[in-house]
Amino acid sequence: MHPKGFEITCRKCGQPLEAHVLSCPSEDSLSLDYIAGFFDGEGTAQISVSKSPKTWCGVQFRPRIGFYQKTPEILEKIAYELGVAEKGFKLTRRLTGSKGSYGECYRLEIVRYDDVLRIAKMLQPRCQLKKKQLEIVIEATELLLKTGYPQRRAYKSAIPKETIKKLLELTEEIRQLNSKHRKYTDLEVVRKSLA
């Protein structure tokens, strides 16, 4: 059971998405189990770390959940089912493979902290392959929401150094689980800046 306001219902039949099945009378809705399976195959959970002079500590942590697909219609459907379409969502078109050899692909990326936390909690118990990544994203997002969101210089509370160290550990852990071939921000540089 989700906290109040976290329950999403089918747009067509009105049933809670939690209890939804693929045999929805509307023939237009997706179950959470389907979305979790789709995420296991075509999704990503990560924590991006970037240098940012606008934050008090010089870096910004951003938990993200992404879905990738060559057909944008399925991503639009997922956005509606997960309750992010109403807030506005953007599908990013990109080329995949070396110099676009695999053709184009679309990405639905969820970056709003409250949406990332809600969706990760909905999908994590249903995922098989990326359960641990979602677990890490949940922990990181909860830390950020408790101690330093939105990380701006003028924000009244600063993220404690111990929390930043924990976020760096979580980032390293999720990078180990995800692709090791991507270029990431060097976390050692971030650690030195905290000393």
Asked if residue 170 has pLDDT above 90, the reply is yes
Could you read off the pLDDT of 112-156 as tens digits, one per residue?
A: 999 999 999 999 999 999 999 999 999 999 998 887 555 555 555
pLDDT value, residue 19: 45
- The total of other beta-carbon atoms located within 10 Å of residue 152's CB is 13
pLDDT value, residue 5: 43
**Banded pLDDT at 192 (limits 50, 70, 90):** confident
Using alpha carbons, select from 33, 62, 30 the residue that is nearest to residue 45: 62
Integer Cα distance of 10 and 77 in angstroms: 11
- H-only helix segments in the chain: 32-42, 72-81, 113-123, 131-147, 161-177, 187-194
Residue 190 corresponds to which tokens in the numbers above? 């971030």
Unique residue bearing structure tokens 């929390």:
163
Using alpha carbons, select from 111, 93, 112 the residue that is nearest to residue 103: 93
Start-to-end CA span in the chain (Å): 42
78 contacts 30 by C-beta, under 8 angstroms: yes
Asked if residue 45 has pLDDT above 90, the reply is yes
Integer Cα distance of 61 and 123 in angstroms: 22
Using alpha carbons, select from 153, 128, 182 the residue that is nearest to residue 59: 153
Question: What number is the average pLDDT over the span 34-55?
Answer: 88
Burial 112-123 (b: 16+ CB within 10 A, else e): ebebbbbbbbbb
